[in-house]
Chains A and B, each alone.
Chain A
Amino acid sequence: MMSAEMKREISEANRRRYEQLRAAGQEATPKGLPDATALGTKPIAPQAVISREQIPADWYATMRLRRGELLRIIDDLGTSSVSMIGWREEDTSERINCADTVKAQWSAAISKGRVILSDMGRVFVSLVEDTSGAHDLMVGGSTPASTLAAFGAASRNTHENFLAAAAKVGLGLRDIPPCVTFFAPVSVDANGAFLWNAGRKRPGDFVDLRAEMNVVVVLSNCAHPLNPFRAPVHGPVTLLRHRAPPAGSDDPCRTISPEIVRAFEFTDWLFA
């Protein structure tokens, strides 16, 4: 048995390490984040495009991305939000994990230079371009109940879109993890209430996600349940699956913090 004094020393050392990590994660790391991508920049060369698809309002698409491929998601009219879940292709028990994503980055806000983690301590996708920086990891997508309450009638919703998409790859309700919703400017006020920051949505906002493993992602184009301006009919979103040169050792997403450096190391081992 460990003596009480030894236990206390270990506890105190662990507390010191935690406070150092927290200071780095909430003070130094955010200063190193790249600026948001400017709207209308970063065109994709036609020969780099692998496939193109437009998701109509209220529908979904399933995309398979090989490690290193990118997916651009464009909010064409600035009225959409896109909820995403995803699994590792070779072992679908590995899936996106919002809680680990938030904890490892010390922030519930993700933007260019951040990553989305899987539940296995690995990087699922990186946000290599992002004009918006206003995405939601806490509230999730629309459901039968939320659309009924909003529109007074049953309508298509993210929960049922995810169910349908999961079924078509042999998965089911058990496999639907909490989702990330892009172009959903949700924040938390001092009392814990969720706020919708409408001014942070613009036509043409886009994100480029780089797959860091072989992934299957589902994207649902339904109005976010907190969006007070949601209409039963909103805009389409465009998906561009494309190629880019491999990430260099100075890639901002790969180098942003010691935590994420480790997550990439664990990811790279899968492919070593």
Chain B
Amino acid sequence: MTSLATASSEDESSAVYRHDIPAERPWSRVLRRGQTLRIVDSEGQQAVDALLYCADNPAERYSAQDTLRVQGSAYIDLGTRLVSNNGRVMARITADSCGRHDTSAGCCSCESNAVRFGESTKYQHACRENFIVELSKHGLTKRDIVANLNFFMNVPIDPSGNFAVVDGISAPGNYVDITADMDVLFVISNCPQVNNPCNGFNPTPIRVAIWDPPAL
């Protein structure tokens, strides 16, 4: 992995907000422009599904395809600019102690689990259930769930197109920092998937912390 943390030493006691997100649960909060959100993979190998919306106009939202096109490559990494469906930079990755994140594999749903893993998995909790509930608090619906970010999820794509979720490389305590370029509604589903290796077959808690921009 080429990208390691840069601004890694922020002391969490200086954060303006801290919260533990239990395994399998959603979370959301508005990040003000300049604020930095840290997501900590507390126990390791835990995928964190995330969506971003422009707080002033949620029809403008994170776009995986725009982000990858602007970047010219397939993985989310230190320095990646998270681009909206209107072509604006919403936020950027400003620190990363893991080195591998995905934005092509989407989120799990009861419906896609039933296709992928069999009908016996249809009645298992899934990220889309989390997103629907969390988005409803902000007047948003299933229509607003677009291709999301998957922090700490390892989805290599080979030149032939072969595509699979494989074991995560994030160790306990690995983190990623996202600094907002505009006011954004940041929505997380702490992924409940137990049918593939994205959570080590065992979903675990994560932690989030928010810092204000450094004083000038």
A residues apposed to B, CB below 8 Å:
7, 10-12, 14-15, 17-18, 21-22, 25-26, 93, 97-100, 102-104, 106-109, 117, 119-122, 138-141, 143-146, 159, 172-179, 187-194, 225-226, 259-260, 262-263, 266
Known contacts A138-B74, A194-B73: A259-B115 contact under CB 8 Å: yes
User: Is residue B43 contacting chain A, with contact meaning CB distance below 8 A?
Assistant: no
Q: Interface residue count for B (Cβ, 8 Å)?
A: 53
Number of A-B contacts (CB under 8 A): 161
Residue of chain A at shortest CB distance from B87:
A145
A194 touches B105 (CB 8 A): no
Q: Which of B30-38, B116-124, B176-184, B206-214 contacts A (4 or more CB under 8 A)?
A: B116-124
Cβ of B28 under 8 Å from chain A: no
Among A12, A104, A159, A188, the residue within 8 A (CB) of B116 is A104
Q: How far is the CB of B151 from chain A (nearest CB, A)?
A: 15
Chain B residue numbers with a CB within 8 Å of A175 are 143
Say whether A107 contacts B162, CB under 8 Å. Answer: yes
Q: Give the docked Cα–Cα distance between A142 and B180 (Å).
A: 25
Interface residues of B (CB under 8 A from A): 59-60, 63-66, 68-70, 72-75, 85-87, 104-107, 109-112, 114-119, 141-147, 157-165, 194-197, 200-202
Residues of A within 8 A of B106 (CB): 97-100, 103
B111 touches A119 (CB 8 A): yes
Question: Which single member of B68, B147, B196 contacts A18 (CB below 8 Å)?
Answer: B196
For A138, the chain B residues whose CB sits under 8 A away are 65, 68, 74, 104, 157
* Chain B residue nearest to A26 in the complex (CB): B162
Most A CB contacts (10 A, CB to CB) among B73, B107, B144 go to B73
Chain B CB within 10 Å, residue with most, of A102, A141, A159: A102
